Structure 1
Amino acid sequence: MPRPAAGFTLVELILVIVLLGIVGTATFSYLGLGAQMYADAADREKLLSQSRFAVERLTRELRNVVPNSVRVSSETGKNCIEFAPLISAGRYSPGIASGAVTLFSPAGWTELTSYSQPLFMTVYPVDASTDIYQQGRVASLLNLSATGNELSVTASFATTPRDSPSARMYFFGLPVAYCQEGAELYRYQRTGLDQPLSGRTLMAEALDTEFYVAEPPFQYQDSLVLTRNSVVHIRLAFKSLFADRLVFNQEIHIPNVP
């Protein structure tokens, strides 16, 4: 009696192909879901890291500025906050009209005398942000000489300002600005008090532009309202590739009195 031929029937082959297709589809969907979850988590982590860095950097710089040097500006597609970074401060004697004064600091003046960038000086109080940028109370021609804890300063003002009630001077560097431009946040620095913003550096990206239709990202309440402090409100919103929104809403207090 002849033996039956070995092999698979057409029905069996079709069933195997169907089963392999089902298993392959399920496996691919499982692996695809895992890859999507990983990409989602990685994008959120990247977004969180860069947004935290940008907000922390801006916050630290704003906490060390010349009082009343903060100003905000808005134009189409661009919202900026600008300020003069404080380098050092102290009380002077005799009166500012003499053109040559002496300041004292227990910590000394190493940071100030070793400052390599352009340095400016203003007499407290700075009445408004225009005083810094229009140089109404700013001396840029400085001659500094430190001996121990004493600093001798020879300064030249375009118009001699009135003396400070507390004999207070501030030394500051070139103004800095943070600007939201579309979906990016840039940091600028002026090359002079009367020069335009330049040298921009990208600080963060993936900002949610829809978030700024109602309110700008930076708001400033100056000392004309608050006697002892100015307040800066920061509202930065970021959007991930998966349309998640991450919002930083921060309030920074800037002291206006020595």
Structure 2
Amino acid sequence: MVRSKRKGPVLQRRDQVEFSTTDQRLLDSRGPADWVHADPWRVLRIQAEFVEGFGTLAELGPAVAVFGSARTEREHPSYAAGEEAGRKLVEAGFAVVTGGGPGAMEAANKGACEADGLSVGLGIELPFESGLNDWVDVGINFRYFFVRKTMFVKYTQGFIVLPGGVGTLDELFEAMTLVQTQKITRFPIVLLGTDYWGGLIDWLRGTVLAEGRISQSDLDALLVTDDIDEAVALMVAARDEPIGEDAP
């Protein structure tokens, strides 16, 4: 007879059968602790992060995410632009959500906070950054990038992207991909800083579009501007536009 065992919904047979039980490993303090680092346990941590994020942000209201480099110095013009964007978004009735770090993220949180708006930071566990900036009023620190990204897309109505590096580009192209594949709709994306972003747009248009790798509509999803009022107005228009009955 083939040796078998049921472990919850999992069936184990032959040499895959475990002779200890989950309860035993939980209650027997003398047992090994390696199991808390195994994938099934990570699933619970991932679930807990989703629950915490959903519970904290569910009543956030209209919000816009502001991205940009953590390395932006406070004396840099991009920092001032981040502050102004945060302030004007609050004046337009939005909460401001950033990655919660220093640099451009701190600037946007500061602008929102000083305008008496809701300043939110969604941080990520990294080996080289030290938690949320002091201008965050509501903060969540995540272990997993993909959980954090879900919160940005689910609980904001658009992205304003200041000059940034790899992380900023990651968020930008993630949003573009979700718009292109219609996973999200009515989601404006603004690149703030024509000098900084111009080369990227030229490459996308002159190489990627020219070779048929993307469509013109993918580029049309981006607004590149130096005018913060224009950026905020686009967010307001997207928020206030009535959703038709045919909308997904």
TM-score in terms of structure 2 length: 0.28
Q: Which structure's residues are more often strand, by fraction?
A: 1
Greater relative contact order, per chain length (Cα 8 Å cut-off, separation 6+) = 1
Greater radius of gyration (CA): 1
Q: Which has the higher helix share?
A: 2
